[in-house]
Amino acid sequence: MRAWAVAPRALGTRLAVAVGLGLALAACGGSRARPAAPPPPPEPRLVAQRLHLAMNEMAAIVHRERADCPRMASALRELFGRMRIAVAEAERMADDPTLAQQLTTELRAYDEADRGISDAIFRDLVACKDHLGVQGAMREMPVVPAR
């Protein structure tokens, strides 16, 4: 018999013992798993940077695709899918006054760089304002609610 081979009777006995131990542990409550620790709070600087980059990417998309509304809709949906992570982190931060203030400070650091970006986005979106795909994508845009 090879070293790795197990006699059928020994295998049956081992299986019975393993099942018996498993049932005994289950009856006793098994191991007491600790609840998962909550994730660390998001870093305000990184969240602000992601939101800033997302708005700039949105401006680039609507400018580049203003003559191709279906492509604009598709690109916006893809962007908004990625934006949801940063927006969810910003929402979590809004529940903590200290983190909320830090995020506000970090976002204000982009005020000068983002000046006029909303107007530019609006101007380019107007080209596809009647396109149902773009309208649907814009309804899906994740937004941090004001508190």
Average pLDDT estimate for 74-91: 95
Of 21-30, 32-41, 105-114, minimum mean pLDDT range: 21-30
Task: Domain count for the chain, please give it.
Answer: 2
Mean confidence (pLDDT) of the chain: 83
73 and 3 together in one domain:
no
Q: Which is nearest to 51 in space by CA: 110, 93, 101, 97?
A: 110
| Residue 147 within any structural domain of the chain | no
Average pLDDT estimate for 13-32: 49
Domain encompassing residue 17: 1-31
> What letter represents residue 40's amino acid?
P
27 and 53 together in one domain:
no
Please give the DSSP secondary-structure letter assigned to residue 128: G
| 3-class SS of residue 90 | helix
For the chain, the straight-line distance linking the first and the last C-alpha, in angstroms and rounded, comes to 73
Q: Which is nearest to 112 in space by CA: 52, 63, 59, 50?
A: 52
Query: Using CA atoms, how far apart are residues 122 and 142, in angstroms rounded to an integer?
Result: 17
Residue with tokens 């983002």: 114
Is 0.85 topped by the overall pTM?
no
| Residue 68 within any structural domain of the chain | yes
| pLDDT higher than 50, residue 115 | yes
62 and 126 together in one domain:
yes
